[in-house]
Amino acid sequence: MMEEVKDKDKFSGWYLKILEDAGLIDSRYPVKGMVVYKGWGLFIIRQMQRHLEKLLEEAGHEPVLFPVLIPDDILGKETKHIAGFEEQVFWVTHAGANELERRLALRPTSETAIYETFRLWIRSHQDLPLKIHQSCAVYRYETKHTRPLIRGREFLWNEGHSAHIDDEDAMRNIEEIKEIYGKLIRDILCIPFIVSRRPEWDRFPGATDTFAFDTIMPNDKTLQIATIHNLGQNFSRAFEITYEDEKGEHKYVHQTSYGPSFGRLLAALVSIHGDEKGLVLPPEISPIQCIIVPLFFKGTDKERIQRYAEDVGKKLNEAGIRNHIDSRDERPGNKFYYWEMKGVPLRIEVGPRDMERNELTVVRRDTGKRSQLKFDRVSEIPKIFDEITENLRKTAQKRFDQRFFKIGSMEELSKNSGRGILSLGWCGNDECAEKIERYVDILSVNNDRGTCIVCGRDGKEVNAANTY
């Protein structure tokens, strides 16, 4: 991202403008915290969804879709869980003029709804492990300042749920999910991240452990883009989810749940790869991978150039490359600007000289590099896509790695809060944590030993940052 966009004071305005100008969303919907997903943005989200669902199903997850409404008594079965969400639940209390016998919640998350059904599906050890996933919308009455795609009251995600014979098998699933999310986030979206084991007070309500995927935005705040939760037996005991083992004994299952936010992934994608011109999209998820721009000059044969552009489009179709021909009656520069703002990975210009030489002029969005390509070598464009993807991944990772800092005192903390991810010592005392969290949020407690920057006692190193 260019320096003028990196500027923290300018980033917010740039971000909101690009969401609208690039046709990702419309935030003018008359319910605060809810947005309309437009074609360009929804295509990207669906590409994420397709890739993730394929990876999950290859790992043995069955696709499901549960109802959006959860009865009051079921939502409240796991007490820590409902306590963690009680201020955020949207309640349905009437159907027309009729008051319902029991309140129905719009799902804030689906653990309780799904585990009420797990109780019916699981009988024997032969039913385990049970792994399912669904892509859906969830609803939470967010009381903090809302921000499109980052913090809203309706958001799109994929949530996975599993049940296992023991904790060891549950942990195997957690490690597998870490790999799956890594393939989506790092390999396909080119977004760098760290996996943070959340401190006890920041765990998912009802979980024994929470692992979060955090990336760093251009304003140096961290954004949580996915989470994995070890639920232990907390929900299986609350919902009476048991299985009969090989000895005929009934035991409670061990459970995990996990999910990435498609909205937050899109926000990170926009922010981390974007520049002063607009979006920069990895080829795999771009709605259009190649934009073909015929160059019509005074005195040239427009029909011949248009046919040549169409031949290029057919060649790209044969190679399975998503493309579009922009034949609008606009100046070439206006077209270039428009498609650069939309983030299309590759622009192909075809003019009279290209046509005579049986060539294409190819321009990369990520670097701006121009090159010539013979018409009969169009099939080599996927190799260029691989180069673009690798460049985006390496560039983003380099910026990410430069935003980690070691902090040795409270004075340093006060001067450096908001600089990215800070490593500092904490003794484990709640009072010291409160003083640290006046400046930053503690993301994770690491295994490395450290000296508490508040009281000077021995402790452990923690990662901390300003968060969304």
Could you tell me the residue range of the domain that residue 351 belongs to? 288-384
Question: Per-residue pLDDT tens for 312-348?
Answer: 999 999 999 999 999 999 999 999 999 999 999 999 9
Q: Is 227:177 a contact under the CB 8 Å cutoff?
A: no
Residues of the chain with pLDDT > 70, as a percent, come to: 98
Whether residues 411 and 355 share a domain: the answer is no
User: How far is it, in rounded angstroms, from Cα 57 to Cα 64?
Assistant: 11
pLDDT (0 to 100) of residue 3? 46
Residue 292: inside a domain: yes
150 and 241 co-located in one domain: yes
Examine the domain organization and report whether 96 and 120 are in the same domain: yes
205 neighbors 229 (Cβ within 8 angstroms): no
The confidence band for 180, taking pLDDT boundaries of 50, 70 and 90, is: very high
Query: Is residue 32 domain-resident?
Result: yes
Secondary structure class of 86 (helix, strand, coil): coil
Residues in a beta bridge with 98:
95
Alpha-carbon gap, residue 38 to 20, rounded angstroms:
9
362 and 422 in a single domain? The answer is: no
- For the record, the structure tokens of 274 come out as 């974007």
Query: Per-residue pLDDT for 305 more than 70?
Result: yes
Residue type, 115: Y
Residue 398 is assigned to a structural domain of this protein: no
pLDDT at 301: 86
Q: Are residues 50 and 148 in the same domain?
A: yes
Percent of the chain scored above 90 by pLDDT?
92
Residue 399 lies in a domain: no
> Do 325 and 413 fall into the same domain?
no
CA 317, CA 195: separation in Å to the nearest integer? 39
CATH number at residue 443: 3.30.110.30
Do 293 and 266 sit in the same domain of this protein? no
Does 199 have pLDDT greater than 50?
yes
Answer left, alpha or beta for residue 15, where phi above 0 means left and psi between -120 and 50 means alpha: alpha
N-term to C-term CA, the chain: 20
Res 84: pLDDT: 81
pLDDT at position 4, please?
45
- Per-residue pLDDT tens digits for 4-58: 455 666 899 999 999 999 999 999 999 999 999 999 999 999 999 999 999 999 9
Q: Quick check: pTM over 0.85? A: yes
222 with 111, same domain: the answer is yes
Distance separating alpha carbons of residues 349 and 342, to the nearest angstrom: 17
Asked if residue 73 lies in contact with residue 179, where contact means CB atoms within 8 angstroms, the answer is no
Average pLDDT for 287-312? 92
- What CATH number is attached to the domain comprising 341? 3.40.50.800
The last residue of one of the domains, among 353, 384, 415, is: 384
Q: What is the pLDDT of residue 1?
A: 45
More confident residue, 437 or 79: 437
**Edge to edge, what strands does the sheet with 98-106 contain?**
69-71, 98-106, 90-95
Q: How far apart are CA 441 and CA 452, in angstroms?
A: 15
Tell whether 319 and 431 lie within a shared domain: no
For 253-270, what is each residue's pLDDT tens digit? 999 999 999 999 999 999
Q: Tell me which of 356, 384, 412 is where a domain ends.
A: 384
How do beta strands 404-406 and 421-426 pair?
Answer: parallel
> What is the structure's pLDDT at 157?
98
- In sign, the C-alpha dihedral spanning 379, 385, 387, 390 is negative
Using the predicted structure, report yes or no on whether residue 457 has a pLDDT greater than 90: yes
Dump the DSSP string for 115-170.
HHHHHHH--BGGG-SEEEEEEEEEE----S--BTTTB-SEEEEEEEEEEESSHHHH
- State the Cα angle at 53 between 323 and 253, rounded to 5°: 170
User: What pLDDT is recorded for position 8?
Assistant: 62
- In the listed set 240, 273, 306, which residue is the last one of a domain according to the structure? 273
Phi, psi of 182 (to 5 degrees): -60, -40
Supply 361's token pair: 């002029």
Residues 210 and 118 in one domain: yes
User: What's the number of domains the chain is made of?
Assistant: 3
User: 2 pLDDT exceeds 50?
Assistant: no
Mean pLDDT of 87-109: 95
366 within 8 A of 275, measured Cβ to Cβ = no
Q: According to the model, what pLDDT value does residue 5 have? A: 52
Q: For residue 166, how many other CB atoms are within 10 A of its CB?
A: 12
> For 227, phi and psi rounded to 5 degrees?
-140, 155
Report yes or no on 281 lying in a domain.
no
Q: Which residue do the tokens 């010592």 mark?
A: 425
Residue 355 has pLDDT above 90, yes or no: yes
Query: CATH number for the domain including 77?
Result: 3.30.930.10
Residue 426 lies in a domain: yes
Looking at residue 142, its pLDDT comes to 86
Determine, yes or no, domain membership for 161.
yes
- Residue 7: the pLDDT is 60
Pairing type for strands 290-294 and 323-325 reads parallel
Clarify whether residues 461 and 371 are in a common domain.
Answer: no
Chain mean pLDDT for the chain: 95
436, two tokens: 């640290």
d(CA 57, CA 73): 32
Residue 264 maps to a domain: yes
By the 10 Å C-beta count (0-12 exposed, 13-18 middle, 19+ buried), 368 is classed as exposed
Indicate whether 200 and 88 sit together in one domain: yes
